[in-house]
Amino acid sequence: MKIVTLCLLASLLATAAQAQTSYQAPTGYSLQTADDYIEYEPQVVATVNWLEKTPLGQQPELRKQADQFLFQWISGSSSVSVQLQKYVADLAGQDSELLMLFMGGWARYQLQHPEVKDPAVLNTEGIRTMLRAYRAGGFRKNKQLDELTKLDSKGTLVEWVRKQLAG
């Protein structure tokens, strides 16, 4: 019975490890035309998913490639229009990776919900991506993000965002 349990545990661990390393950042991509950007939309979603689930210190070279791809795609895409507000930069502080996560979360949500135009909803999704990545680990302690995690769990994060956008 112990052998079966150990084999099952080893199989689960191997599957979890493979899931975390199965992401491949796009390489050799060309973002010249609108069709190029549309072609890479699934990779944008996969990239944001990977970035938010992978602790900051893990696979730094892959993370760098993912960030570069994501930034280039967001910068030129006509499908999404990410708007960074001062409060987001304040939340991120010295962790520029958090800004990339915000932009990625916004872009992913806008791709998956093209009908949504409400800036508060789009900002909230960007922040939620930041929060998921923050909880995944590797970031400096951030009291503001800890507070926003509590607001999100209470279902009041979007109201907080609306106040930030109004102020």
Integer Cα distance of 129 and 5 in angstroms = 35
For the whole prediction, is pTM greater than 0.95? Answer: no
List the chain pLDDT tens, one digit each, 167 residues. Answer: 545 444 344 444 444 444 445 999 999 999 999 999 999 999 999 999 999 999 999 999 999 999 999 999 999 999 999 999 999 999 999 899 999 999 999 999 999 999 999 999 999 999 999 999 999 999 999 999 999 999 999 999 999 999 999 98
Q: How is the chain split into domains, by residue range?
A: 30-166
Task: Find where tokens 């800036």 sit.
Answer: 119
Q: Which of 11, 44, 5 is nearest to 25 (CA)?
A: 44
